[in-house]
Amino acid sequence: MKFFIDTANLKEIDEARSLGMLDGVTTNPSLMSKESVSNQKEIQKHYISICERLKNNENLSAEVINTNYIDMIQEGEKLALLHPRIVVKIPMTKNGIKAIKYFSNKKIKTNCTLIFSIGQAILAAKAGAYYVSPFLGRLDDLSYNGLNLIQEIKNVYENYHFDTKILAASIRHPLHIIECSKIGVHAITSPISVIYSLFYHPLTDIGLEKFIKDFQKKIR
């Protein structure tokens, strides 16, 4: 399972890299707005800085802001030209699906975002999305079971041999990552804090403390 980091923050991306847990990056307009980028030039520079931190098959999902078809296409094409590692992130709307089809015909990778239902996931796959991003945590927040949706998407994609990859998004806690791994998603995208919380187990801390104490008692 690939670990993408859901951030536009360069320090967090570097942290994930040094941890050995970086397979890609996803951003969205809210995450970009937290960084010090205030115009198109700075936004482009920021995306390039992220891409320069990536290697091998890693990529960056960069989201379009426009919502009408023509503007979405133009913005997506600019993003795709900015750096070969950029995957154009497009919202699940009628125009978005048309844009995904357009980019898929041009062999430009897309990530269909804001997926909250199996019907939406089917449309995205039929349009040729490279990734779908079902939002786990936001469904859980409304008392719907986000993991059920992920499992359903997995089943339907297998039924029809869709190539679209599941990139589980809106991850809120370590169990989301663990359960996604059991379902067998291609990737999760998570804040680095949730990846850190996978490390913790009290018995590991207690065990390590005891090993060190025992060793120091005998060997001085």
Which of 145, 91, 147 minimizes the C-alpha distance to 120? 91
Q: Nearer to ligand G3P by C-beta: 105 or 187?
A: 187
Smallest separation (angstroms) from ligand G3P to the CB of 191: 7
Q: Nearest 5°: CA angle at 86, between 44 and 160?
A: 150
Q: Quick check: helix, strand or coil at residue 195?
A: helix
Q: With respect to ligand G3P, which residue has the nearer C-beta, 28 or 110?
A: 28
Smallest gap from residue 192 Cβ to ligand G3P (A): 13
Cβ within 8 Å of residue 63, ≥6 positions away:
27, 28, 29, 32, 89, 90, 91, 113
- Between 129 and 203, CB nearer to ligand G3P: 129
Least separation, in Å, of the C-beta of 189 and ligand G3P?
5
| Residue 89 a catalytic site member | yes
Chain residues that interact with ligand G3P, rule: CB under 6 A = 6, 26, 28, 135, 137-138, 169-170, 189
Place of tokens 């991850």: 171
Rounded to whole angstroms, the maximal C-alpha distance in the chain is 74
* Of 137 and 174, CB closest to ligand G3P: 137
Token representation of residue 35: 């960084």
Question: Among residues 6 and 75, whose Cβ is nearest to ligand G3P?
Answer: 6
Least Cβ distance, residue 133 to ligand G3P (angstroms): 6
Q: CA 139, CA 169: separation in Å to the nearest integer?
A: 11
Between CA 185 and CA 205 the distance in angstroms is: 30
Q: How many CB atoms lie within 10 A of CB 34?
A: 11
Q: How far is CA 105 from the centre of its chain?
A: 23
Q: Indicate which residue of 41, 45, 55, 89 is catalytic.
A: 89
- Minimal distance in Å, beta carbon 61 to ligand G3P? 8
Give the SS3 label for residue 190: strand
Residues marked active site are found at 89
